Structures are given as structure tokens and as C-alpha cells.
């Protein structure tokens, strides 16, 4: 327990807490904020998709930027820089007066938010003994997921602009805690060796290397299908299901992230118990497929049951920390931060592809069959990515990619 609760682990967990608060806040206040800016009711969905895509575009760019910097300059410097950028950008969201200003600031916030999880997981994975590594990364993710719960309660009790100010303030307060965090010893030793570090294009230098990298991305896509499509557009899905009361997106997100907290903690514990990452990811992907089918196609007609399914979907997609841990364990120290940072942000950035497909399928087949078809595609590519993936449980991370 003493090894597990080291200062870097605690600070990484709190950092991800603030990261999730800021990342999910837009999904929670999407409708309220757009109405406040004068967007017509008929345009709320399309403008929401536009802003989400801008944020995800920032995550894609930031994932590459911070990953490279994490391997070249160090894990700690990235954690400091990224949180400063997204804290200032999210605070500035409270001052926007137009959708275009909103879009620019969501893009900048996305760049900043991209650095927190991957580099934090990399740092925790490198400083903890391999026997308890899974517990550490699960702790970081489980604490972090609760940031969405705080975001819901803040947005429910304060005006949306104030909610953004609070998020920015929390991030700046966290910077004060980062002073006592120390650098990974494995990375410090790697710096002394004559080897290329943070070379993003090295991931494409050979077929096996590229396939290994793509596998890491594919297995995480269902997590963001649940969070980015099923939860963000839960009001529209609830309306199509003819529920007894309208669904509030922020409430759906809150309940899903309560489930994600349980899922991330349980998936980490199960991976330690079964001595396997792959078996647990397979189990959770199949559970996500089951809960998605029930969510979209079983006529429950009760909003209470709908929110209960949001918890179930959160638990089923709660292998996020495990999936990022797998990515970190697949590659050597000189590429580890690059991989662990780009992989989750490419998964988040997959929303840029998923949202147009969702809108296309909705127009062709209706919102429920359209979402179901998109879910089937994401589950399928995740199973494809998991197929023949290397098992990394207990792997020694003190190695380099040549």
C-alpha cells in the first residue's frame, strides 16, 4: 500500500480527475451553453457535433505533441505544461460570446487535455513494481472518472460559465501539488543512452511495429463510442425510446462515469487476479456490446432504468486504464510516452469519424438503428485489434525500442 500511494500516483490520479472534469463538461453543458449563445433548437445537434469535433481535433494534435515531448523532455514537464494550457483554456470558455469563439477554445483545451492521461499512466507504470502496476493505473483512472460526477453537480448547481471557471481554477490549484513529483527512474536512465527518443514516425518503421500500434488504438474505440455517442446524445436517444421523462445529458454522463469508476477499478483488479490484460479486455468489450444492445433496443420506457443502463454501460466500458496500460507496456521507454499519449487521444479523436457516421446512419436508418450499426462496427474493430495481441501482464518495462 505504501508503494502504491506514492506522491506521483496520487498527483496523477488528481490530475486525471481535473482532466475528466474539463473534458466532459462540454457534453454536460452542451445544450444549455449553445442556447445561451443564441443557437436555434434545430441546430443544437449539428453545432454540438461541430464543437465536439473541434475538441477532438485538439486532442489528436495534442496527443502527438505531448507524447513526443514526454519521451524527449520527460514525463513531469509535460504534466506541468498540459495542465496549464487546458486550465487557462477552460477558464476562458466562460467568456465566449459566439460559437466560433467556443470552437477555438475547445480546440486549445483539447490540445492541453491530451497530455494528462497518457503521460500520467506512463509515469505510474514506470515507478511502480510490475507486480502492482495494474492496481496503480486502475487507481489513477478510477479517481479520475469521478471528475465527471463533480462536473455534473457543479453544472447542475451553477451557471455553465461558472462551471468552466471552476474547472480552470481546479487545474491551476493542481499545479501547486505537482512541485513535489519526481521523474521516472527508468526514463532518467534512458536519457543517458544514445537512442532516439519520442520519434513518432518510428512507430511506422516496420509492418509489425505499425500493426502493434494500431491494435492498441482499436481496442479502445468502444469506450469512446459509449461516452461520445451514446451518452452525449442520450437526450435524442431517450426521445426516440419514448421514455416517461426527458433525459438530461449531464445526468446520463454522471451515471456512466460512476459506472466507469467501478469498471476501471474492477478491470484492474481482475487483470491482477487472472494475470492477464487481454482476457479482461475481451470480457469488458463483450459486456459493452450487450449493454449497448439493451440500451438502444429494449423498450424499457422508464428514465430510471435508462440511467441504470448508463451505469451498466460505464462498467462495461471501464477498461480505459487497462487499455492505456497495455499500450504503455507494449513499447520501450524511448517511445512509451509517445504511444501511451497518442493512443487514447486517437481513440478520443475517432469521434471525428464516428459523429459523421452517426449522422449518416441516423438519416438513413433512424437514430436507434443508426447508433446500433455504429456500435457494431466499433465492437468489431476492437475484437479485431485484440486478436493476436501480445499479453503484457508482468512485463519488465526497462527496455528500449531500437
Return mean pLDDT, the chain: 89
User: Predicted confidence band at 182 (pLDDT cuts at 50, 70, 90)?
Assistant: low
Task: Report how far apart the first and last C-alpha atoms of the chain are (Å, whole number).
Answer: 35
Q: Give the residue-averaged pLDDT of 340-366.
A: 90
Q: Give the residue-averaged pLDDT of 293-321.
A: 93
Residue 15 CA to residue 63 CA, distance in Å, equals: 16
Least confident of 102-106, 133-137, 225-229: 133-137
Q: Is the pLDDT of residue 114 over 70?
A: yes
Residue 397 CA to residue 101 CA, distance in Å, equals: 43
Per the CB < 8 A criterion, the answer to whether 183 and 8 are in contact is no
Give residue 129's pLDDT: 85
**pLDDT over 90, % of the chain:** 47
Residue written as grid cell 485538439: 58
Residue from 11, 307, 23, 255 nearest 143 by CA: 11
Per the CB < 8 A criterion, the answer to whether 241 and 368 are in contact is yes
Per the CB < 8 A criterion, the answer to whether 182 and 319 are in contact is no
Give residue 188's pLDDT: 76
Residue 366 CA to residue 386 CA, distance in Å, equals: 30
More confident residue, 194 or 377: 377
Q: Give the residue-averaged pLDDT of 256-271.
A: 91
Least confident of 61-70, 118-127, 380-389: 118-127
Q: Is the pLDDT of residue 180 over 70?
A: no
How is residue 322 written as a grid cell?
487497462
Give residue 249's pLDDT: 81
Q: Give the residue-averaged pLDDT of 25-41.
A: 89
Give residue 348's pLDDT: 83
Per the CB < 8 A criterion, the answer to whether 296 and 243 are in contact is no
Per the CB < 8 A criterion, the answer to whether 160 and 250 are in contact is no
Q: Is the pLDDT of residue 384 over 70?
A: yes
- CA gyration radius, the chain: 20
pTM of this structure: 0.84
Residue 259: which residues within 8 A CB-CB, separation 6 or more?
310, 311, 312, 313, 314, 315, 316, 317, 318
Give residue 330's pLDDT: 92
DSSP result, 223-241: HHHIIIIIITTHHHHHHHT
Q: Write down all domains in the chain, each with its CATH number in brackets.
A: 7-179+201-386 (1.20.1250.20)
Residue 158 CA to residue 150 CA, distance in Å, equals: 12
pLDDT (tens digit per residue) in 298-308: 988 899 999 99
Report which listed range, 147-151, 266-270, 284-288, 340-344, is most confident. 284-288
How is residue 205 written as a grid cell?
518503421
Q: Give the residue-averaged pLDDT of 214-243.
A: 92
User: Predicted confidence band at 97 (pLDDT cuts at 50, 70, 90)?
Assistant: very high
The neighbour count for residue 157, using CB atoms within 10 Å, is: 9
**pLDDT over 70, % of the chain:** 98
Residue 213: which residues within 8 A CB-CB, separation 6 or more?
203, 204, 330, 331, 339, 343
Give residue 185's pLDDT: 73
Give me the helix-helix angle, 7-36 and 99-113, nearest 10°.
170
Q: Is the pLDDT of residue 179 over 70?
A: no
Q: Give the residue-averaged pLDDT of 139-165.
A: 90
Amino acid at each position: 500500500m505504501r508503494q502504491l500511494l506514492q506522491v506521483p500516483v496520487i498527483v496523477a490520479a488528481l490530475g486525471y480527475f481535473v482532466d475528466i472534469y474539463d473534458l466532459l463538461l462540454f457534453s454536460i453543458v452542451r445544450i444549455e451553453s449553445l442556447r445561451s449563445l443564441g443557437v436555434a433548437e434545430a441546430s443544437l445537434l449539428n453545432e454540438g457535433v461541430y464543437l465536439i469535433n473541434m475538441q477532438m481535433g485538439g486532442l489528436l494534435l495534442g496527443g502527438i505533441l505531448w507524447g513526443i515531448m514526454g519521451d524527449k523532455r520527460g514525463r513531469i514537464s509535460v504534466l506541468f505544461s498540459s495542465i496549464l494550457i487546458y486550465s487557462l483554456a477552460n477558464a476562458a470558455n466562460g467568456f465566449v460570446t459566439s460559437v466560433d469563439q467556443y470552437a477555438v477554445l475547445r480546440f486549445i483545451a483539447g490540445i492541453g487535455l491530451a497530455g494528462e492521461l497518457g503521460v500520467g499512466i506512463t509515469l505510474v507504470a514506470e515507478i511502480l513494481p510490475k507486480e502492482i502496476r495494474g492496481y496503480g493505473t486502475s487507481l489513477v483512472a478510477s479517481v479520475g472518472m469521478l471528475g465527471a460526477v463533480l462536473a455534473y453537480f457543479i453544472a447542475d448547481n451553477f451557471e455553465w460559465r461558472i462551471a468552466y471557471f471552476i474547472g480552470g481554477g481546479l487545474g491551476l490549484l493542481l499545479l501547486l501539488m505537482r512541485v513535489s513529483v519526481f521523474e521516472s527512474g527508468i526514463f532518467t536512465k534512458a536519457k543517458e543512452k544514445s537512442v532516439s527518443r519520442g520519434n513518432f514516425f518510428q512507430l511506422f518503421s516496420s509492418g509489425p511495429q505499425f500493426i502493434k500500434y494500431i491494435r492498441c488504438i482499436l481496442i479502445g474505440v468502444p469506450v469512446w463510442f459509449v461516452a461520445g455517442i451514446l451518452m452525449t446524445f442520450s437526450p435524442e436517444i431517450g426521445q426516440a425510446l419514448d421514455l416517461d421523462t426527458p433525459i438530461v445529458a449531464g445526468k446520463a454522463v454522471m451515471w456512466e462515469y460512476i459506472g466507469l469508476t467501478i469498471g476501471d477499478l474492477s478491470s484492474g483488479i481482475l487483470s491482477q487476479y487472472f494475470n492477464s490484460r487481454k482476457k479482461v479486455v475481451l470480457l469488458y468489450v463483450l459486456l459493452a456490446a450487450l449493454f449497448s444492445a439493451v440500451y438502444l433496443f429494449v423498450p424499457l420506457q422508464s428514465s430510471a432504468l435508462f440511467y441504470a443502463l448508463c451505469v451498466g454501460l460505464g462498467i462495461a466500458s471501464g477498461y480505459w486504464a487497462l487499455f492505456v496500460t497495455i499500450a504503455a507496456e507494449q513499447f520501450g521507454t524511448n517511445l512509451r510516452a509517445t504511444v501511451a499519449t497518442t493512443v487514447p487521444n486517437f481513440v478520443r479523436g475517432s469521434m471525428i469519424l464516428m459523429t459523421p457516421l452517426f449522422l449518416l446512419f441516423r438519416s438513413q436508418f433512424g437514430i436507434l438503428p443508426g447508433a446500433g450499426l455504429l456500435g457494431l462496427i466499433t465492437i468489431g474493430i476492437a475484437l479485431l485489434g485484440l486478436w493476436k495481441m501480445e499479453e503484457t501482464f508482468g512485463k519488465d518495462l526497462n527496455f528500449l525500442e531500437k
